[in-house]
Structures are given as structure tokens and as C-alpha cells.
Structure 1
């Protein structure tokens, strides 16, 4: 097992409990201290329970998470989006979860936890470098499972390389002694340099995740400018706590990246979690997908069988993450129209709230659910915008609007066509301007 983060530890424990003898390698034991995923959707919570890890203290001490609250940029009433059927998620401190999982793994007789140690080669025979002894040690393994993250060294050794593309920059900062507008929910706020996500990770700790585009990268160094850009979109109590935290420490920054989840390994080497692929953290799907990878691998005859299953199952969560980030982060006129249409749909339709949250929870993996939701929201936005231009006699503007919205039509199509993987437009082409 390569990598002792949350997914690697969960996999090691699961395989050991199924009778395997596991060598668990971690190259950088302090990596768990970095800013990383801290939300597990209901699908991931269910995976933990089936893997026998549902009682982890780090994910139960904060209580269940019931969904999200979206705060529109126009200052209108927040929109509450509960998970369907009473399902719940979990949020936690990343370092605390990893520490607990490593302790559990190291305590199992079937697991040999070695750190610091890194995989050095896969052929002609797998081997790792043990920093404690300074020796390269050969491995005799029936299967190698790599959970070594989005910069996976195992992926490179397989010849797959890093095909990821940068999206934005995200900063994480802890706010102390602050109440959330709705406890038990994650909060997503629009109107800043980029979307903001806020959720509780401890009795007195709230995590704030600040997304900024590369064009605003200077905000990483200028905390006064960062405060002025972010504070106006926060509730008063949260803005005050944000100012206090900024005076004490700078946010921990990371680059967000996208890599499609199509490569799951070769031969007897399986990739799981971010080693397969990654999306923007706004939808917080990463850990849940990784846990579902582990479950699927346990139930698969071989790596090829595992890959066939996961390519299909992970397609819709990946597309949803890409689509929602594009809708929340861009401010072209067509994107703003779609965002407003989405807000309206969530406010007025219980069925749309349910469908969106089933997709976000990754308990609904059906392409037609994604297609239905996106078509209805997009069609309403296009009809309103084109109709407004036409009623005003702006025929050129109406044609331009139709052209701009046509680029969005491929999103619902992607949901209906098996194997179609939609890449975010902002990673591949510039957006059209406002109709004139």
C-alpha cells in the first residue's frame, strides 16, 4: 500500500481485515498536516461503515452534517439544501482523521507500517527506499495499491505521468469561536474573488476555504487586500472572526487541479483516490470517491475489472464537480444567468433540491439525473436571456446569447452519452463576451 493518508489507511485496514498481509508505506508522515479534504459525503460515510470504520472519533465527534446552505451573491435569502432521505455527511480536522487511521492501521497485526519510505521502482521487481535504514528493499507483492495523491509517484512509475491542469488557488484558514449561520451544514458563499466554503471541523474550530482565480494570485501575499475582498460577503460574526484569524496567521494555500478519472492502474498495480484523478474541491467529493474506490477494489477480481466499474461510477460526480465550479466561479453573462436560474430552481422545486443533493452526495450516479437537472436550469436561463434581448429588439444580442448558451448544451448531453467526460470550458477555451 503506497500512501498512508485517509484513503491509503482505509484501504490497508480493509485489506488486512480481509486476510491480506499489508505493507503500508508513507514517504512524508507530515503531509497530513497540510490543508486537505475535510468533508465526507453520505456515499463516503456509507463506505466507511461497510469497511468497518464508521465509528472513527474524528468523524463522529462533530455530529452529522445534513447538507449545504448556499448564500447568493445578491444578498437574498440563503438556500438550504439538505441531503435526501435523512442521509448525513461528516466533517473533521484532516490531521486528526489521518492520525487516528494511522494508529488503527499500525495496531493491526496484518499491517507493517513503514515511514518515511517511498516506492522507487516497479520493475523488474518492486522496491522501496527505507529512510531509516538507508536501504532499498525489494517487495514481493501480489498486488500494489497506490493512494499517493494527485502527484502520484506510482502513477509516474507506471508511465501514466501527470496530465492534470491547474484551475485556481485555494486558501484554508481556521476561524475560532464562531457560530455558523446554520449549524450542521456546510456553507457556500458567492460574491468574493471566487466561491467560499465554510464548515465546522471541531467544537471551537471552523474551516474557511477561499478560492481565488490565478489572475488574483497576489491576494495570497496581501492579507489586507484579501480581507477587503472576502469580508463583505461574510456574515458579520464570521467576518470579525476572519479578521482576527488573518492577524494571527496567513491561510495555507494550495493549487487546485483537474485530472479526469480514467486511469485506474495497470497489471497488478491499482490506483485509488486522487492518484486516479482529481476535481476542484468545491463539491468536496475527493475523499468519498477514494473510499468508493477502495470498496470497488476489494470486490474486484483484478485491476482491469476494478477499472471498468469505476470509470462508469465516477463519471457523474466528476462532471457535477466541474459544472458546479464553472457555474459558481465565472461571471460571464451566460454563467450568471445559469447561476440565477439554479438559485430559482432550488428555491421553488423540492424535486430539484433532492436531485441536486443526491448527485452531490454521490448516491445518485445516473447520467440522466445530471442531464435532467442541467437541461432544466440551462434551458430556463437561455429562454429568459434570449427572450429579454428579443423583446427589446436586440436581435444581434439574441443571436449572440443563443451562441453563448449553445456551449452549455453539451453538459446535459454528456450526462446521456455513456463514456462522455466533459472538461470544464474555462480550462480549454476563453468565454464569449456579453451580447451587444
Structure 2
């Protein structure tokens, strides 16, 4: 099924040229760019390139509103990128909730971590939380309204490559994404572009052949939707920490709806079949640890039984070396969703790629040599917006899901660091507003040294002779927490 692009007030191309380009897209299935996946990144990229005058075909298996339990929180850095793309209005009319920062609890103690303000006269930065599907539908509407974009509901099944090289020429598709009455009605079709973009999400079917790495999954987020929950800090993301269970996230996604995400690592004893499975863990471990004001709505949601899960994946990015192909979004790069940074990375990537492939820099996307050079630059330039978020997400999860004494020592040091008022830098990193890896590393090792000092301060007198050895182990643990992820960001 092909969706018509409606005329809008965006600057149109010359009438004849636009008509010819549209005819090539609709009849001949040819464009400058073919994008697989009309999700958050695919739609934003289609609009960004379309507004530059590129002809774009956007393929999506199902144009129905998606229903997911992640991709519901956009950090201020992501809001800023959305503004740069001219898509800020997609946050309107979806009952989105303003997010001013974080509220963190640890072993009964609390700390507020507001997003940092650039100056006393500046407007405080805000994130947004919302129903993922509503946001995606607004982005799809923007793509449908872009004169240079044609949206097609069809299921991409394979990449088309040249007979003489590995260059990708386009996409082979089948049927109409499930809207056909039967499999017999489905037919094979092809769409060709100078550049093919794979943006088909975390379960990408095209990643394996063209990506150096495979996703690593150590846990899942199990989610429930709470109705009319009372939160300790409205307009804040809630992070509930404990040294005997993995982290819990709570954030409002609508006037009446609140999302709770519970991290459950593989082989967690309290979630074993013997202990009642995931529901047993939620009932016996999570429920008693929640703030009292949240417990009634959580209990009601648990009894309703609409539990859903998503894998928490880690996937470092790799340089694209296949001519004619670009892999983006979760198909390219994933990190633990604990910090809610995925969409911020996606929109930052679109901004960077839009600028690198602007008609001034690349007049013709058929020039694969020039496009290849720009994509090589993209791999490193995108790291300004992605490296901090990737490293922070993985490092914080390692601390907050602590499963040994050394990690728990770092966990205590991290919360003590927040309690000392050292929150502006970490909040800026979480928000996606500070994009300097050195700032992240300096704060991380400040936490590590504070953890060592707390070991000396809190150890009984009889244990003091052993503390230096324990400090050495804790510091070594800090190094092996962060350095592998830093090295992953330095690889090509």
C-alpha cells in the first residue's frame, strides 16, 4: 500500500522536478534514498533528507500505531536535536509529560537530580515522556507531509546487491505488511536508491551480514502500565536502587498512565520458576520495595497481568564499509536503556548525517566514493553525541545492578557523590547536554575515589589492615567497568 504525501507549506522544489521525482518513486520505485523502517529514526531521517531536496522512499511493514514499553523518554539533548530537525512539534498533541530531572532512592535515602541550567537567566532544559506509539505516529505524519517523501507499507525481505560488487542497490519487499487478505495476494516488489538506509530496530534482520558485532543481552526490562499512580516527584524520572536487587525505573507517560520498568537479569534466583517466576519476583521483591504511594497502582497492574518485556542490549557501532548502505539506530548501536538515551542518540545521528550528506557537500548520492568518505566521517563525528550516552548507560547499569561487594562499594560511592551535591555534571551527561567523554571519565573516577575513602571511613578498626587490599580490588573493578566500553567507542 502506498501512502500519498500531502502538500505542506515546506519549501517545495520546482513543480516539474518534484512531479518527475514523485513519478519515479511511485511508478518506477526509484529514489535517491530508500529507508527501511518508519520508526523514530527512519521518519526523522526521511524528513531531514526530503527537506534538503532528496527524493526518499520510506518502507514500513505496518503503519499501525506501535505499542512498545521502551522509547518513551526523550532526554533534553534529544529535544534539542529534534528542534534542529524542525520536528519539535511532534511532541505536541500526544499528552506528553514534561521531565525536569531525576529522583533517585537508595536504601531508604533520597536525592533529587534536576537537569542543569546553563545560566541563571536561561530556560531550564526539559525532557519529555510519552506513549511511544503516539510519538511515532506524529513523526510518520511529518514524513507523509513531506513533498519529497513517499511512504510505502511493505515488508522488506532482502537487500539487492550488484552482480559485480557488494554495492547495495535497493530493497526487495514482499506484500503489504500484513494488510493483504492472504499470502497468495502478496507479491514481490523492489525499490531502488543510490543509498539504502537500514533502520529496522533492535531486532534488525539486515544487521548480521553488514555489522561486525552482535548484540549482547544480559537482562530484560519487564514493564507494567500503572493507572493514576501517585509519584513521589511528579515530572521526574524515578530511579529506585537497592544493593540487593536490580534497578527499577518509573516515569509518567500520560495524564493517567505511568510506566514502571523492572530490570531482571538472566538467572535471577528470585525470578526462578521455583519462586514464582517473574510475577513472583515482582510480587515478593519489587512490590515491598516501592514507595508506599506507588504500591496500590502497581498491585492493581500486576493483578491485571499485562506484563511485557524487552531485552536490554549492548551493541557497539561499527564503521559501514558496504557501498550504497547505511545502518542506523538500534540496528547500528544499542546501550542499556537505564538512562533513556536511545532516542537522543538517534536524533543526534540524524542531525550529523543530514549535515554530512547535505547537497553542498554531496551533490549526488550516486557518487559512492564521496558518500563513503562522508560515512567514514559520520562514524567518528556521531561519537560526540553517542559515546557519553553509551558509556554512561553501561557503566551505571554495572553499578546499579551490583552483584558483588566491589561493585556495591562503587554503588554506595555513587549515591554518596550525589548526596554531596555533585549532580550538575552527571545530570548534564544523563540529559545528553554534555557531550565530552573526559567529563564522564572524571566524574566516574571521582566516584571511585570517594568509594575508596568511604571504605576507610566505614570499616571497623580490626578490618583496617585489610582495607588497602580491598581498595585495590574496588579500584580495579572500577577500571574493568568503564574501560571496555571506552575501548568499544574507540574501535572502528
State TM-score, norm by structure 1.
Answer: 0.88
Q: 126, 131, 137: which one pairs with 1:99?
A: 137
1:93-152 deviation per Cα after TM superposition (whole angstroms, max 9, x unaligned): 011111222223223332221123214123023232131363333333122222111222
Decide whether aligned partners of structure 1 residues 127 and 359 sit closer, same or farther in structure 2, where only a CA change above 3 A counts: same
* 2:10 paired with 1:10: no
Decide whether aligned partners of structure 1 residues 411 and 218 sit closer, same or farther in structure 2, where only a CA change above 3 A counts: closer
Residue 26 of structure 1 and its aligned partner are, at CA, apart by 1.4
Residue 222 of structure 1 and its aligned partner are, at CA, apart by 4.9
Alpha-carbon distance between aligned partners in 1 of 2:436 and 2:232, rounded to the nearest angstrom:
32
Compute the RMSD of aligned alpha carbons: 2.5
Counterpart position of 1:385: 455
1:225-272 deviation per Cα after TM superposition (whole angstroms, max 9, x unaligned): 422211111111211100101111231112211111234563232222
Q: Comparing 307-316 with 199-208, which one deviates more in the overlay? A: 307-316
Decide whether aligned partners of structure 1 residues 312 and 122 sit closer, same or farther in structure 2, where only a CA change above 3 A counts: farther
Q: 302, 306, 329: which one pairs with 1:250?
A: 306
Provide structure 1 residue ranges, at least 5 long, that are not aligned to the other structure. Answer: 422-436
8 Å CA contact retained: 1:327, 1:338: yes
Alpha-carbon distance between aligned partners in 2 of 1:206 and 1:127, rounded to the nearest angstrom:
39
Provide structure 2 residue ranges, at least 5 long, that are not aligned to the other structure. Answer: 1-34, 118-123, 163-168, 177-184, 358-373
Decide whether aligned partners of structure 1 residues 293 and 231 sit closer, same or farther in structure 2, where only a CA change above 3 A counts: same
Secondary structure, aligned partner of 1:392 = helix
Counterpart position of 2:116: 84
8 Å CA contact retained: 2:38, 2:59: yes
* 2:440 paired with 1:340: no
Residue 359 of structure 1 and its aligned partner are, at CA, apart by 0.9
State TM-score, norm by structure 2.
Answer: 0.78
Residue 280 of structure 1 and its aligned partner are, at CA, apart by 0.8
Residue 178 of structure 1 and its aligned partner are, at CA, apart by 1.5
Decide whether aligned partners of structure 1 residues 53 and 212 sit closer, same or farther in structure 2, where only a CA change above 3 A counts: same
Secondary structure, aligned partner of 2:326 = strand
Matches within 5 A, 1:380-419: 380-386=450-456, 391-393=461-463, 395-396=465-466, 398-409=468-479
* 2:170 paired with 1:126: yes
* 2:258 paired with 1:226: no
Alpha-carbon distance between aligned partners in 1 of 2:93 and 2:480, rounded to the nearest angstrom:
38
Alpha-carbon distance between aligned partners in 2 of 1:58 and 1:148, rounded to the nearest angstrom:
25
8 Å CA contact retained: 1:386, 1:402: no
Secondary structure, aligned partner of 1:129 = strand
Alpha-carbon distance between aligned partners in 1 of 2:217 and 2:93, rounded to the nearest angstrom:
30
Q: Comparing 400-409 with 203-212, which one deviates more in the overlay? A: 400-409
Alpha-carbon distance between aligned partners in 2 of 1:412 and 1:250, rounded to the nearest angstrom:
36
* 2:397 paired with 1:325: yes
* 2:125 paired with 1:109: no
Alpha-carbon distance between aligned partners in 2 of 1:300 and 1:282, rounded to the nearest angstrom:
30
Secondary structure, aligned partner of 1:143 = strand
Alpha-carbon distance between aligned partners in 2 of 1:44 and 1:360, rounded to the nearest angstrom:
11
Residue 30 of structure 1 and its aligned partner are, at CA, apart by 5.4
8 Å CA contact retained: 1:29, 1:116: no
Decide whether aligned partners of structure 1 residues 48 and 264 sit closer, same or farther in structure 2, where only a CA change above 3 A counts: farther
From the CA coordinates, give the structure whose radius of gyration is larger. 2
